């Protein structure tokens, strides 16, 4: 007889022996046994009442559990509340993410010294505390974009040897009410658990704007976040061992309560580097690039006034790409010059089709700028002139100062206006007033901006005196926001003075180009022939000398300002005969 109990098969033979087996899968064993005349018994499976009930209610219990979990999170039961949106997005920076030290920071020595002191305080607090000094609670890094504020923070993280949390000001902002304040609380809770530590808030102006200047729910939420940040930085509860470092390029919009001592004890200015700083920064970035024997970082630094640290890093990278494009094994001075022109003037558009008439007009226009720039007083030396379209311009003349300038004289501003008007004057003198083109539109914008600033901001008008009439207020480092605060009568006087300065510059440019007409024609023809001329080549052309492009590689700017010689020259490298071109020789 055979007894079937689910998958279990119990077999009892006629001689009384019995054994147990497993029901074969996929076979109708019952029909086969009956066909053989074997007695088959089947036992019904009995499920327990508990298991039956569990299988019935389990799906409902799972759904109820999920619903309770999410309701608990939305009501603040979970960490941070609001389904976890209130959890801080601050990240703990570790060495594996790329270690940066103060050796990688150059050109901003004063800012570096102030932050090195904070690191030293964390390493050796007894050195300062024995005289009653306290560690600064916060430092605000202020400077234009690209000057190295975030790099300084990364260097602190690499040097401090303590936990370093980093977060962006925009990470506090979310679409839900109360999330920003919750994230601030959560961030400081994490920081206190890891004290002593440093918290770096990048672009703090996103959350630290002055209160009371906006309306609406979004503004109220931002103010609530700022209030919580103010309390956490310096409130009733002690916040020992947590140092806040923040960075911004808009210090004017920050709330005064955020800037007071006790929250940000120090405001560290991070300006654009001077010529010595630029040379040091170039040296840092040049470590990663094989340099040719002719590369002089001092000359490159002199030719990049106003460049930030980020601009110089981009310059070195562009030079390396330029060298790789032509197959060199190292970067030469020519690559740096080409990269500088690309960064400052835009990429060449050689594929742009220009008629001969347009080329001739552009050549005379740019030659007019160059000739006027060489004969007006106190003007910066001419670096390069070209009629090859670059960026949005059909041609341009680039002037570069040979030293960093902290202030500009009245005479130099007048010279800038005269040089800018030289292009339009040249078109009028050569082609006639009826054939003057719209190519001088950007020049007119430039001279209008300079003349208006001379009248309304710098006090260079006897008619209006030494009063600030500017319709602008600085809302960004290097940018302005307009508003009206002067009468219509005064505005008419301002417009008249601006017109006078521009007309005087136009007349000066016309006088110079009339007196030096032969030189103007000579330079325009040279531009038509060579398309691009350096400062030295322009001087030779005006002197009537022949150009020899074969051995003329001197790119020194021409002008009436002496060169800077006070800075020690970069040490020369051994000369190479092959110019660094591939293939690389093998031993």
Enzyme catalytic residues: 366
Q: Are 419 and 379 in contact (CB under 8 A)?
A: yes
Q: What are phi and psi of 542, to 5 degrees?
A: -65, -25
Q: How far is CA 141 from CA 118, 216, 268, 467, 510, in A?
A: 13, 30, 5, 32, 48
**Residue closest to 190 by CA, chosen among 262, 98, 263, 86:** 86
Beta bridge partners of 245: 139, 200
Question: Which structure tokens are listed for 571?
Answer: 């040490």
User: Tokens 């759904």 belong to which residue?
Assistant: 63
Tokens of 220: 């109220």
Q: Is 402 helix (H, G, I), strand (E, B) or coil?
A: coil
Cα separation of 91 and 98, whole Å?
A: 14
The residues near 145 (Cβ < 8 Å, ≥ 6 apart) are 249, 308, 310, 477
Contact 320, 331 (CB under 8 A): yes
CA pair distance 294, 332, nearest whole angstrom: 6
Residue 149 CB partners (closer than 8 Å, separation 6+): 141, 142, 143, 202, 247, 249, 270
User: What does 234-270 look like in DSSP terms, one character per residue?
Assistant: SSSS--TTEEEEEEES-GGGB-HHHHSTTT--EEEE-
- 70's tokens: 């999410």
Indicate the length of the chain as a whole number.
587
Structure-token pair, residue 367: 């030659």
Distance, in Å, from the CA atom of 344 to the CA atom of 341, rounded to the nearest integer, reads 5
Widest Cα–Cα separation across the chain: 136
Q: What's the CA gap between 84 and 453, in Å, rounded?
A: 52
Q: Inter-axis angle of helices 309-325 and 275-286, to 10 degrees?
A: 50
Distance CA 155, CA 159 (A): 6
Residue 277 contacts residue 108 (beta carbons within 8 Å): yes
């Amino acid at each position: 007889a055979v007894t079937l109990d689910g998958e279990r098969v119990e077999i009892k033979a006629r001689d009384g022996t019995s054994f147990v087996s497993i029901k074969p899968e996929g076979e109708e064993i019952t029909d086969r046994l009956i066909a053989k005349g074997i007695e088959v018994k089947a036992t019904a499976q009995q499920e327990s009442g508990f298991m039956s009930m569990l299988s019935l209610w389990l799906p409902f219990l799972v759904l109820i559990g999920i619903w309770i979990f999410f309701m608990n999170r939305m009501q603040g039961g979970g960490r941070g509340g609001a389904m976890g949106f209130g959890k801080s997005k601050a990240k703990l920076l570790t060495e594996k993410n790329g270690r940066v030290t103060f050796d990688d920071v150059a050109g901003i020595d004063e800012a570096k010294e102030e932050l090195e002191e904070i690191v030293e305080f964390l390493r050796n607090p007894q050195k300062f505390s024995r005289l009653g000094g306290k560690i600064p609670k916060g430092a605000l890094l202020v400077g234009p974009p690209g000057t190295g504020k975030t790099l300084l923070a990364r260097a602190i993280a690499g040097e401090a040897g303590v936990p370093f949390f980093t977060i962006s000001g925009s990470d506090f902002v979310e679409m839900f009410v109360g999330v920003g304040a919750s994230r601030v609380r959560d961030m400081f809770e994490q920081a206190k658990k890891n004290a002593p530590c440093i918290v770096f808030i990048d672009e703090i102006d996103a959350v630290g704007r002055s209160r009371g200047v906006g309306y609406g729910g979004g503004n109220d939420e931002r103010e609530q976040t700022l209030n919580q940040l103010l309390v956490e930085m310096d409130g009733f509860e002690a916040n020992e061992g947590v140092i806040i470092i923040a960075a911004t390029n808009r210090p004017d919009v920050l709330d005064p309560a955020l800037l007071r001592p006790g929250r940000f004890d120090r405001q560290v200015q991070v300006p654009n580097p001077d010529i010595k700083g630029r040379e040091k920064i170039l040296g840092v970035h040049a470590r990663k690039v094989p340099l040719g024997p002719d590369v002089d970082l001092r000359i490159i630094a002199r030719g990049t006034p106003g460049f930030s640290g980020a601009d110089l890093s981009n310059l070195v990278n562009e030079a390396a790409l330029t060298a790789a494009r032509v197959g060199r094994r190292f970067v030469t001075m020519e690559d740096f010059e080409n990269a500088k022109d690309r960064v400052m003037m835009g990429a060449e558009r050689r594929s742009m089709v220009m008629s001969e008439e347009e080329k001739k007009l552009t050549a005379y226009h740019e030659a007019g700028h160059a000739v006027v720039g060489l004969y007006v007083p106190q003007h910066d030396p001419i670096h390069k002139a070209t009629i090859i379209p670059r960026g949005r311009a059909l041609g341009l003349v680039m002037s570069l100062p040979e030293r960093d300038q902290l202030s500009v004289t009245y005479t130099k501003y007048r010279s800038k206006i005269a040089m800018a008007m030289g292009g339009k004057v040249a078109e009028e003198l050569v082609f006639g007033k009826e054939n003057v083109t719209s190519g001088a539109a950007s020049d007119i914008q430039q001279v209008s901006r300079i003349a208006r600033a001379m009248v309304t901001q710098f006090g260079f008008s006897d008619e209006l005196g030494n009063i600030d009439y500017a319709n602008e207020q600085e809302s960004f480092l290097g940018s302005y926001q307009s508003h009206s605060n002067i009468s219509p009568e005064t505005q008419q006087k301002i417009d008249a003075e601006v017109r006078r300065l521009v007309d005087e510059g136009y007349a000066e440019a016309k006088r110079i180009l009339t007196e030096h007409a032969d030189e103007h024609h000579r330079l325009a023809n040279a531009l038509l022939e060579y398309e691009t001329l350096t400062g030295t080549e322009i001087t030779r052309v005006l002197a009537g000398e022949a150009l020899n492009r074969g051995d003329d590689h001197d790119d020194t700017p021409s002008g009436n300002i002496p060169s800077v010689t006070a800075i020690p020259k970069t040490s020369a490298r051994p000369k190479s005969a092959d110019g660094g071109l591939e293939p690389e020789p093998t031993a």
